[in-house]
């Protein structure tokens, strides 16, 4: 080849390469031969479109079935509604709708009533279990109530604290020895508000007009860990806003609690008080807990020697215990 070394030329020829002179003109790669005629492609040249019927191998459903309630597609209710209009009657469509709404309401009302009865039965069984528990463990639980006399200006006649402990030494007919304890029987007939003429009790007690008695309720129970009785005021905000849930599953109606936890039903009346569950113008907690301990242990003087802390009318007044039971006042620890 011109311009190439002879050794390289001989090597290329031995490898099968050859030099060919190119022809003058353009070189066409991938040439196609086409015509200028317009062609049409169909399935059958001899059969016009639309004359042949085609059938599918797979059958396509023509009707849809809905799984949810729909409006009726028949027009019978429309015809009945037109007849009702002509006869000045209520349209059948509105009648059927009203009937359906009424049936739904009746069904829902029956459902709510059945649910209420089931819940009521469940609650009744719960309180029955408490009745059995108190019966098997007398003296462990109790309800104590007190009625405190108030003046017209809303202050108490006697100095009583949050545990209804009488802190003053003023004379009171309900706290004067044997006569006072017998006067406790007037508890159920004391008026909430005294009328203009005043109120005179059957045992000679007299209350001036404008005065009133306010009731306080307490739930008390035996704390085995600290060997003492705990008291909880049911009139305080902490109890009414959820504190009762620490002891009961259902809201404790006072009538239910009196029927279950009445100390007078757990023990026969004794000489020093006419009733142990109801007090007027002050509660003697030492008496209450001493008798409860006798019920609990079955012993005349209780389960052991007692340490009593009753507090006073100054800085050491009554207080509940929330986290440390032995800070409660009054308290009785039985050793």
User: Three-state SS across 120-138?
Assistant: HHHHHHHHHHHHHHHHHCC
229 plus 85 within the same structural domain: no
Residue burial 58-89, b: 16+ Cβ < 10 Å; e: rest: eeeeeeeeeeeeeeeeeeeeeebbeebeeeee
pLDDT tens profile 212-264: 999 999 999 999 999 999 999 999 999 989 899 999 999 988 999 999 998 88
Position 243 in a domain: yes
Percent of the chain at pLDDT exceeding 70: 64
Q: Greater confidence, 143 or 179?
A: 143
* Whether 317 contacts 329, CB under 8 Å: yes
Instruction: Check residue 272 and give its pLDDT.
Output: 46
Both 92 and 144 in one domain: the answer is: no
Question: Does residue 131 lie within any of the structural domains?
Answer: yes
CA-closest candidate to residue 157, choices 166, 298, 216: 166
Instruction: Tell me whether residue 34 is in a domain.
Output: no
Per-residue model confidence (pLDDT) at position 143: 94
Domain that holds residue 105: 80-136
Measured in residues, the chain has a length of 335
| CA nearest to 127, candidates 223, 231, 220, 251 | 251
How far apart, in whole angstroms, are the C-alpha atoms of residue 176 and residue 63? Answer: 95
Mark which of 90, 121, 136 sits at the end of a domain.
136
145 vs 164: CA distance, rounded Å:
9
Tell me, yes or no, whether 147 lies in a domain.
yes
R_g of the chain, CA atoms, integer Å: 50
pLDDT, mean of residues 39-58:
58
Do 155 and 108 lie in a common domain? no
The helix (H) or strand (E) run that includes residue 200 is strand 199-200
Do 146 and 208 belong to one domain? yes
176 and 114 part of one domain: no
Within-domain flag for 314: yes
Assess whether 107 and 193 both reside in one domain: no
More confidently predicted of 211 and 202: 211
pLDDT computed for residue 244 by the predictor: 93
What order of strands is seen across the sheet that includes strand 212-223?
278-280, 141-150, 212-223, 228-233, 331-334, 306-309
**Tokens matching residue 103:** 């049936």
Same domain flag for 126 and 178: no
Distance CA 113, CA 104 (A): 14
Residue 51 inside a domain? The answer is no
Dihedral angle at the C-alpha atoms of 260, 150, 290, 127, nearest 10 degrees?
Answer: 10
CA distance 323 to 329: 14
Query: What is the reported pLDDT for 172?
Result: 82
156 and 191 co-located in one domain: yes
Global pTM? 0.65
Does residue 57 lie in a domain region? no
| Span 68-99, pLDDT tens digits | 666 655 554 555 555 555 555 555 555 566 67
Structural domain ending residue among the three candidates 101, 116, 136: 136
Residue 255, Cα to own-chain centre: how many angstroms?
A: 22
Looking at the fold, whether 270 and 122 belong to one and the same domain comes out as no
Residues 147 and 294 in one domain: yes
145 and 274 within one domain: yes
Domain-terminating residue out of 117, 136, 155: 136
pLDDT level of residue 271 (50, 70, 90 thresholds) = very low
Q: Is residue 119 part of a domain?
A: yes
Query: Does residue 197 share a domain with residue 258?
Result: yes
pLDDT value, residue 164: 94
CB within 8 Å of 320: residues ≥ 6 apart: 162, 231, 232, 233, 236, 328
Total domain count, the chain: 2
């Amino acid at each position: 080849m011109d311009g190439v070394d002879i050794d390289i030329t001989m090597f290329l020829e031995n490898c099968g390469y050859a030099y060919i002179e190119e022809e003058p003109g353009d070189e066409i790669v991938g040439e196609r031969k086409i015509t200028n005629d317009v062609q049409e492609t169909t399935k059958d040249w001899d059969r016009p479109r639309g004359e042949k019927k085609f059938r599918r191998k797979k059958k396509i459903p023509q009707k849809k079935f809905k799984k949810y309630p729909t409006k009726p597609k028949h027009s019978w209710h429309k015809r009945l509604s037109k007849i009702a209009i002509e006869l000045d009657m209520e349209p059948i469509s509105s009648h059927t709708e009203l009937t359906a709404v009424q049936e739904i309401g009746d069904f829902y009302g029956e459902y709510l009533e059945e649910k209420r009865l089931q819940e009521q039965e469940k609650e009744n069984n719960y309180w029955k279990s408490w009745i059995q528990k108190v019966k098997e463990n007398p003296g462990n639980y109790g309800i104590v109530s007190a009625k405190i006399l108030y003046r017209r200006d809303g202050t108490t006649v006697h100095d009583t604290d949050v545990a209804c402990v009488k802190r003053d030494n003023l004379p009171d007919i309900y706290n004067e020895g044997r006569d006072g304890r017998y006067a406790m029987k007037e508890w159920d007939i004391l008026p909430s508000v005294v009328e203009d003429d005043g109120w005179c009790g059957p045992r000679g007690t007299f209350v001036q007009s404008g005065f009133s008695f306010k009731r306080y309720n307490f739930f008390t129970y035996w704390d085995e860990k600290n060997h003492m009785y705990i008291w909880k005021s049911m009139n305080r905000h902490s109890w009414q806003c959820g504190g009762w849930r620490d002891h009961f599953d259902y809201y404790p109606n006072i009538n239910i609690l009196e029927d279950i936890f009445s100390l007078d039903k757990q023990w026969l009346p004794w000489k020093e008080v006419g009733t142990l569950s109801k007090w007027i113008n002050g509660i003697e907690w030492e008496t209450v807990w001493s008798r409860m301990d006798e019920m609990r242990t079955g012993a005349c003087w209780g389960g052991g020697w007692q340490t009593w802390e009753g507090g006073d009318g100054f800085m050491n007044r009554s207080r509940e215990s929330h986290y440390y039971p032995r800070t409660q006042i009054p308290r009785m620890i039985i050793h």
